Amino acid sequence: MYRHVGALLVLSPLFAVSIASDAEAQQGARHIVADPPVVEVTVGASTPLAITVVDASGSVVDMAVRLAAPRSAVTVRDGRVQGLQAGVFEIVATAVLPAGEEGSVASVRIPVTVRWPAIERVAVTAPTDALYVGTTLTHGANAFHADGTRRAEIEVLWTSSAPSVASVDDYGTVTAHTQGTVRVTASVEGTTSTREYTVEAFPAEGLRIDGGAATARTGDVLRFAAVGIGSRGAALDDLPVSWAYIFIPDDSIAAPGAPAIMDEGAFVAEVPGRYTILAMSGHLIERRTVRISPRESVQKIELQGQGSVSNVHTSDLWVFEGVDGRDYAITGTWGGAGWAYFWDVTDPTTIFKTDSLQIDARTVNDVKVAPGARYAALSREGASNRNNGVVILDMADPAHPTIASTFDSHGVTGGVHNLFATDDYLFALAGGDKYVIIDVRDPYAPTFVSEYNHPDSRIHDVWVHDGIAYSSEWQKGVVIVDVGNGRWGGSIENPVLVTNVPYPVGRTHAAFPYFQESTGKFYLFLGDEILTRAGLAFEGFGSDDAYDPATGQGGVQSPSSGYVHIIDFTDPDNPQDVARYEVPEAGTHNLWVEDDVLYQAYYEGGLRIVDVSGELKGNLARQGREIAVFKPFDPLGYMANQPNVWGPQPYKGHVFFSDFNSGLWAAKLQPKGRPVS
């Protein structure tokens, strides 16, 4: 998590201009020179930028310079500007006055244009290769750069070589009019791809709908297939089919707009009612009616206990069974002078602190415990000596852990934001640039094993499942690496890239891989982190500062937005963005999925518990899949009565979660009784 206000991220000090100067020059008029004065760069690439401070005579002055840039679009590191998002932006360079000196502060605004790299290849898709007179076929197109990455948003120009045979509209939908040959071409920024069809006479005399069901619940995905019937009763399975539905609401509700999704025969309803499914090909139309009932997922949730933290912000948590058989939790602190707290949660109704530990850090952003609870790790950011890294704890006495060692080499000195712990290895983020894999089989003598650094990318988190690391890398989406699974030739000593799954929002903050036993599907749950609501009707306000009665300032937390993207990753070569979970006026943070239930920290939206059973499609929040919502109001919190849930973890029938403003909480879903209205 990064907390900030507005669109600029201040990097201080990024670099200092190092030249001697005399006292007269220091006091004289100064200005900043940028070389080049205007920056142009492509997404994923970088270009040099030199900044100098000069006095009135043109002599270079020895002064530090701070740079600010839109963090989602541009990064500046080691004298280079990297483009992350296409558009026109600016970098603001400001000289830093030496301590005790007064006077005007020199600054300059440097225009930055970030362009997309050239399109190298366009791929056109269609549900079938056949085209018959009177049928329509909708095409899709994807555009790829030279490095294989896909352009997130494209404008496609569609053309037909013979409009009298088959015409194409602006959206790639082809309608066949007469027999003949036609070529359909998709063009993106001058790069083209063509599909050729031989349009034949319409061969079907009838149409049949197979599959699906007569009844279902909101959120259930039904899959229908349309089969053409030939003149002798033969099945024709290559007919282009258009799908639609007619909706009749239940008497108790007014008909909403767009209450369902119909996608190439896959149907999911978001509100109850009666739906007539229509399959259309040529002059043929076939119907099937489905009754959709409410999902009725709601369960009551009850507070069990709280481990209050009211003097600082609380960061992440980890709940575990200690080697002594009791249950414990660790929580970190954000901007809290390096404190971590240790809790006994054996009885969730009576949570109590067993110990605390202060390390050299401004923020202990992440805490992790190995599956066997033999060791734990604390991340460090903002150490006084800038030598951050990780602190490894001996958990032989889980109520009173002791420091076993620290690891602060191979780039982790730049700050460790997040961690992932296995019994033998610790994955530690290094300066937001890569993750380092550390051998902790002897926690008193950790050693470097390997690392993975995805090119031109900024990393935020990593989660490891079945020997595969899923790292959240903002604009690059989720990066999947074989770190011991072996299917792609990777090992813990030699990580091997599997694939990269980007998505248009470009704020990939957390990734949770989940295998769903009931369907055999493998889903990736990817959470955004957008700590602004700029451009939305409710933009919010606040700064995450506690209320100061002397000034009357603070006391209102900053807003967030963003949602959970659900990717069907069953086929790693063809990942599909299939569903989302989106709550208005709040944004996501950390998440956990277990036993077909999503536990989502939704910042000011509270803890959200969501049914993710069965195949997933559409917006789960609109399908009656929400099981429970808990908002931890605490009048004694660091920011009073302002829920800001950071991270959840289901554990032994309870759900524990940390709140940025009020510490550690435990709640429990109650058995389902009568439907809750």
Picking from 314-323, 430-439, 498-507, 638-647, which range would have the lowest pLDDT averaged per residue?
A: 498-507
Residue 67 lies in a domain: yes
Task: Give whole-number Cα distances, 228 to 132, 237, 267, in Å.
Answer: 12, 6, 20
Pairwise pLDDT comparison (72 vs 664), residue with the higher score: 664
| Judgement on whether residues 99 and 230 belong to the same structural domain of the protein | no
Q: 258: pLDDT confidence band, cut at 50, 70 and 90?
A: low
**b/e per residue 245-265 (b: at least 16 CB within 10 A):** bebeeeeeeeeeeebbbbeeb
Q: 149: pLDDT confidence band, cut at 50, 70 and 90?
A: confident
| Judgement on whether residues 492 and 630 belong to the same structural domain of the protein | yes
Q: Which of 263, 293, 323 is the last residue of a domain?
A: 293
pLDDT at site 480: 97
Q: 256: pLDDT confidence band, cut at 50, 70 and 90?
A: low
Q: Which of 115, 149, 166 is the last residue of a domain?
A: 115
Q: Please count the structural domains in the chain.
A: 4
Pairwise pLDDT comparison (504 vs 221), residue with the higher score: 221
The pTM is what?
0.87
pLDDT at site 251: 67
Cα–Cα distance measured from residue 644 to residue 659, given in angstroms and rounded to the nearest whole number:
5
Task: Give whole-number Cα distances, 55 to 20, 31, 33, 92, 146, in Å.
Answer: 12, 6, 10, 19, 45
**b/e per residue 517-537 (b: at least 16 CB within 10 A):** eebebbbbbbbbbbbbbeeee
pLDDT digits (tens, 9 = 90+) for 490-545: 999 999 999 998 877 778 999 999 999 999 999 999 999 988 888 888 888 777 77
| Judgement on whether residues 257 and 351 belong to the same structural domain of the protein | no
| Judgement on whether residues 212 and 328 belong to the same structural domain of the protein | no
| Judgement on whether residues 330 and 477 belong to the same structural domain of the protein | yes
Picking from 21-25, 126-130, 237-241, 633-637, which range would have the lowest pLDDT averaged per residue?
A: 21-25
Residue 674 lies in a domain: no
CATH number at residue 562: 2.130.10.10
Q: Find, among 447, 406, 442, 438, the residue nearest to 420 by Cα.
A: 438
Task: Give whole-number Cα distances, 282 to 17, 239, 286, in Å.
Answer: 72, 9, 11
Q: 7: pLDDT confidence band, cut at 50, 70 and 90?
A: very low
| Judgement on whether residues 433 and 552 belong to the same structural domain of the protein | yes
Q: 27: pLDDT confidence band, cut at 50, 70 and 90?
A: very low
Cα–Cα distance measured from residue 583 to residue 406, given in angstroms and rounded to the nearest whole number:
40
Query: Cα-flanking dihedrals φ and ψ of residue 581, to 5°?
Result: -130, 115
Q: 1: pLDDT confidence band, cut at 50, 70 and 90?
A: very low
What share of the chain in percent tops pLDDT 90? 73
| Judgement on whether residues 253 and 135 belong to the same structural domain of the protein | no
Pairwise pLDDT comparison (1 vs 387), residue with the higher score: 387
pLDDT digits (tens, 9 = 90+) for 55-66: 888 888 888 888
| Judgement on whether residues 507 and 450 belong to the same structural domain of the protein | yes
DSSP state of 24: H
Q: Cα 642–343–511 angle (5° rounding)?
A: 65
Query: For the purposes of burial, counting CB atoms within 10 Å of the CB of 325, is it exposed (0-12), middle (13-18) or buried (19 or more)?
Result: exposed
Residue 676 lies in a domain: no
Query: For the purposes of burial, counting CB atoms within 10 Å of the CB of 145, is it exposed (0-12), middle (13-18) or buried (19 or more)?
Result: middle
Residue 279 lies in a domain: yes
CATH number at residue 162: 2.60.40.1080
The helix or strand, by DSSP H or E, that contains position 25, with its residue range, turns out to be helix 23-27
Q: Find, among 614, 594, 593, the residue nearest to 268 by Cα.
A: 614
> Are residues 406 and 389 in contact, defined by beta-carbon separation less than 8 angstroms?
yes
pLDDT at site 524: 97
- Domain of 106 in residue numbering reads as 8-115
> Are residues 479 and 471 in contact, defined by beta-carbon separation less than 8 angstroms?
yes
Pairwise pLDDT comparison (544 vs 400), residue with the higher score: 400
Dihedral sign for Cα 556, 418, 43, 114, please. Answer: positive
Q: 253: pLDDT confidence band, cut at 50, 70 and 90?
A: low
Q: Find, among 99, 109, 88, the residue nearest to 63 by Cα.
A: 99
Give 82-137 as a 3 state SS string: EECCCEEEEEEEEEECCCCCCCCCCEEEEEEEEECCCEEEEEEECCCCCCECCCEE
Check pLDDT > 70 for residue 621: yes
Task: Give whole-number Cα distances, 80 to 39, 51, 331, in Å.
Answer: 10, 11, 37
Picking from 51-65, 108-122, 295-309, 448-462, which range would have the lowest pLDDT averaged per residue?
A: 51-65
pLDDT digits (tens, 9 = 90+) for 346-393: 999 999 999 999 999 999 999 999 999 999 999 999 999 888 999 999
Q: Cα 135–138–139 angle (5° rounding)?
A: 135
| Judgement on whether residues 70 and 124 belong to the same structural domain of the protein | no
What share of the chain in percent tops pLDDT 70? 94
Structure tokens at 182: 């036609």
Please list the helix, strand and coil fractions of the chain in percent, rounded to the nearest 5, in that order.
Answer: 0, 50, 45
> Are residues 172 and 139 in contact, defined by beta-carbon separation less than 8 angstroms?
yes
Q: 25: pLDDT confidence band, cut at 50, 70 and 90?
A: very low
Residue 342 lies in a domain: yes
Q: Which of 293, 318, 343 is the last residue of a domain?
A: 293
| Judgement on whether residues 186 and 216 belong to the same structural domain of the protein | no
Query: For the purposes of burial, counting CB atoms within 10 Å of the CB of 646, is it exposed (0-12), middle (13-18) or buried (19 or more)?
Result: buried
pLDDT (average), residues 112-130: 94
Check pLDDT > 70 for residue 21: no
| Judgement on whether residues 523 and 647 belong to the same structural domain of the protein | yes
Residue 677 lies in a domain: no
pLDDT at site 28: 52
Pairwise pLDDT comparison (106 vs 444), residue with the higher score: 444
Q: 76: pLDDT confidence band, cut at 50, 70 and 90?
A: confident
pLDDT at site 552: 72
Q: 411: pLDDT confidence band, cut at 50, 70 and 90?
A: confident
| Judgement on whether residues 123 and 111 belong to the same structural domain of the protein | no
pLDDT digits (tens, 9 = 90+) for 569-605: 999 988 999 999 999 889 999 999 999 999 999 999 9
The full length of the chain comes to: 677
Residue 2 lies in a domain: no
Q: 460: pLDDT confidence band, cut at 50, 70 and 90?
A: very high
Q: Is 645 helix (H, G, I), strand (E, B) or coil?
A: strand
Residue 3 lies in a domain: no
Cα–Cα distance measured from residue 473 to residue 503, given in angstroms and rounded to the nearest whole number:
11
Check pLDDT > 90 for residue 124: yes
pLDDT at site 255: 59
Task: Give whole-number Cα distances, 254 to 215, 246, 248, 277, 676, in Å.
Answer: 21, 15, 10, 20, 20
pLDDT, the chain, mean = 90
DSSP state of 178: S
